[in-house]
A and B are shown apart, each in its own frame.
Chain A
Amino acid sequence: EVQLVESGGGLVQPGRSLRLSCTASGFTFGDFPMSWVRQAPGKGLEWVGFIRSKPYGGTTEYAASVKGRFTISRDDSKGIAYLQMNSLKTEDTAVYFCTRGDSSSLGYWGQGTLVTVSS
């Protein structure tokens, strides 16, 4: 059974950093791209970015709203994807979901972790 579990969320002050983790199980992690999606309270879904699998270069793409501040990485040996968030702003407050896939499909989702950016 495919499972994705996000962790690392919490309350952080504006301008600070936070790293989220997405621990995967039930599939060969290294074979799949991994994506991050967020949802601000009471709002719609926002695509954050994704990381390709190593056979496809392991490269990343980001939404304009986070480019230069957020970095997605992966540790295939541990089955974990990361979202490093720097220079956080109040508008980054959201539930962050990790998902398996990219344009092919985003079939499997975690339950999300809440990040609150506030002083």
Chain B
Amino acid sequence: QTVVTQEPSLTVSPGGTVTLTCASSTGAVTSGYYPNWFQQKPGQAPRALIYSTSNKHSWTPARFSGSLLGGKAALTLSGVQPEDEAEYYCLLYFGAAYAVFGGGTKLTVL
């Protein structure tokens, strides 16, 4: 069973920078896993932020960026705003046959 692992929780100060990561139990994450990132606030549907590692949707704020870092997919928030407090999920695709979400990272802005 493939497991995708994220940090359970992170805390960042307003205006600061934080990096969330996404690892696969199968080995290093590459662009071929098409990493996606989503933001979800309580009571709301997820909102897509990043697709195919680093591509932003038209509505994605510029302070969000995606990359590959040390064998993992990464989501970096620069100049964090209070409204960025949310749960963040990554999604990895495995050979077009199935996909797995990470367990989510609860980001606190404090």
- A residues near B (Cβ < 8 Å) are 37, 44-47, 61-64, 97, 102-112
Q: Which one, B34, B47, B55, B57, contacts A103 given CB within 8 A? A: B34
Query: In the assembly, what is the distance between CA of A62 and CA of B94, in Å?
Result: 12
Q: Chain A residues near B3: list those with CB within 8 A.
A: none
For A103, what are the chain B residues with a Cβ–Cβ distance below 8 Å?
34, 52, 93, 96, 99
B91 close to chain A: CB less than 8 A: yes
Query: Given A44-B103, A61-B97, A105 and B45 touching (CB < 8 A)?
Result: no
A45 adjacent to B38 (CB under 8 Å): yes
Q: Tell me whether B64 is interfacial, beta carbon within 8 Å.
A: no
Does residue B86 face the partner (Cβ distance < 8 Å to A)? no
Q: Which of B34, B40, B47 contacts A104 (CB 8 A)?
A: B34
Of A44, A104, A105, which contacts B89 at CB under 8 A? A44
| Interface magnitude class on chain B | 20 to 34
Contacts of A111 in B (CB 8 A): 45
Q: How far is the CB of B39 from chain A (nearest CB, A)?
A: 11
For A63, what are the chain B residues with a Cβ–Cβ distance below 8 Å?
A: 98
Q: Is the CB of A112 within 8 A of B45?
A: yes
A47–B101 CB distance below 8 A: yes
| In the assembled complex, B36 has its CB within 8 A of some CB on chain A | yes
